[in-house]
Structure 1
């Protein structure tokens, strides 16, 4: 073995080994800190690119979910309104039967007043069945459109049209029952006409409830699917880029030992030229 004070081969080898150990420690510590084994395209371009694409899909799904939640709220408000109106129509029908069977004019007038108050409640429910500026029970209240998936092409939205209940109430009230104006519910004959109109209105309300209920269930089903799809994509991203922290922790401990040994080996190598001095004593 040659001795030289100009070239310390052992020190250079020890330094290279220590530098490699320090670099590995930096990588391992970064993975432990971020929880990611691939946090940049410099780590693994293929995995990082795929993960970025999936993250973009996640953002789109979150927007779709937000749109569906808004649509569900609008539809659920409308369902609640129509259900309440349906109950009131049934109460009005009972009042009409009472008018037909009541012979005392004072009692009949009291029943008619209750009847008219029920109609006013219906008007109030229609005007207040609003969510975020959309009222499906009012012809001028607009309609709800929501995305169903990441496909934004034509026909990919879930649409629920508004219901013009005000017009239906007017049509049902024409000629009897006072659904559209001052009451003419005064005797058995007009009460019978009112019952017929209310039966027609009740059937229409049931149709609307069926339509709105189906729309609500469809939105709920799409929300459940989006939630499952989001979980699958999130798991896929994790499989690509997440670090195994248990493995990285064990690796870090091993690297710390290697670092200490590398520092000691470099120290020994740096002291080697000192032995040359003993040759000149």
Structure 2
């Protein structure tokens, strides 16, 4: 073995091992501090890129969920209006039936007619107020509304169900009403048809609402799966890293000791020159 004061192979080797230990220790400490084994592109470029793309997809799904929730609310408002309208139609049918009684005196007939007309106006008010965020599926202002369905921008289309008097086939040259018992009798069938139309439209809205609920649940599960997948790619196993930290700290201390011993070797050469 070469003994030299210019070159100390043992010290060089000990220093290399200590530097390697320090590098591992820095990596482990970084993982513990950040909670990630891949915190940046320099840690693992391929994994980092993959995780970023999946995180972007997961983040985009927040906008999808917001859009679907707006869709739910828009349908819920239309359904609430529809429930009120069906109640009003039933009451209108009841008033028309009562007014068809030819034994009524004029005052009673006129009172029933006034009630009928008031209920009809309430239908229009209910439809006009069935809006959410300025949009409505009940007024007939739009034929359909499309909400976000996926992160790629594809849509979930909801067909409008017009609940106005026109949508219920109740508009004529004049507003639906009656002036005689005979007209009131004819109005009974119209109210029955309008009620059937309204319930059919509400049934369609209910089916669409269920579809939105199901898709929203799926989007939530998809987002959770993406987030879990990203975590599997980049998150550090803190229990494992903690144990490794203890090991590396011990190894670092031993490396410092080994370097100290190796640095003492050249001093032994002095003993060769003692007389």
Return the TM-score normalized by structure 1: 0.86
Matches within 5 A, 1:202-213: 202-213=195-206
SS at match of 2:6: coil
- Give the CA deviation at 1:270: 2.4
Q: Does residue 84 in structure 1 map to residue 80 in structure 2? A: no
SS at match of 1:159: strand
Matches within 5 A, 1:8-87: 8-87=8-87
Return the TM-score normalized by structure 2: 0.88
Q: Do 1:74 and 1:144's aligned partners in 2 also have CA atoms closer than 8 Å?
A: no
RMSD: 2.4
Deviations 1:21-65 (CA, angstroms, capped at 9, x unpaired): 111011111111222212233222332232233223223333322
Q: Do 1:68 and 1:146's aligned partners in 2 also have CA atoms closer than 8 Å?
A: yes
Cα distance in 2 for partners of 1:171, 1:74 equals 23
Structure 1 142/134 Cα, relative in aligned 2: closer, same or farther at 3 Å? farther
Runs of 4+ in 1 over 6 A off after TM superposition: none
Q: Do 1:133 and 1:141's aligned partners in 2 also have CA atoms closer than 8 Å?
A: no
Q: Give the paired residue count.
A: 273
Q: Which moved more, 1:28-37 or 1:97-106?
A: 97-106
Q: Does residue 271 in structure 1 map to residue 264 in structure 2? A: yes
Match of 1:121 in 2: 122
Q: Do 1:14 and 1:269's aligned partners in 2 also have CA atoms closer than 8 Å?
A: yes
Cα distance in 2 for partners of 1:246, 1:170 equals 66
Q: Do 2:79 and 2:202's aligned partners in 1 also have CA atoms closer than 8 Å?
A: yes
Q: Which moved more, 1:94-103 or 1:218-227?
A: 94-103
Match of 1:201 in 2: 194
Match of 2:211 in 1: 218
Match of 2:94 in 1: 94
Cα distance in 2 for partners of 1:263, 1:170 equals 89
Unaligned 5+ runs, structure 2 = none
Unaligned 5+ runs, structure 1 = none
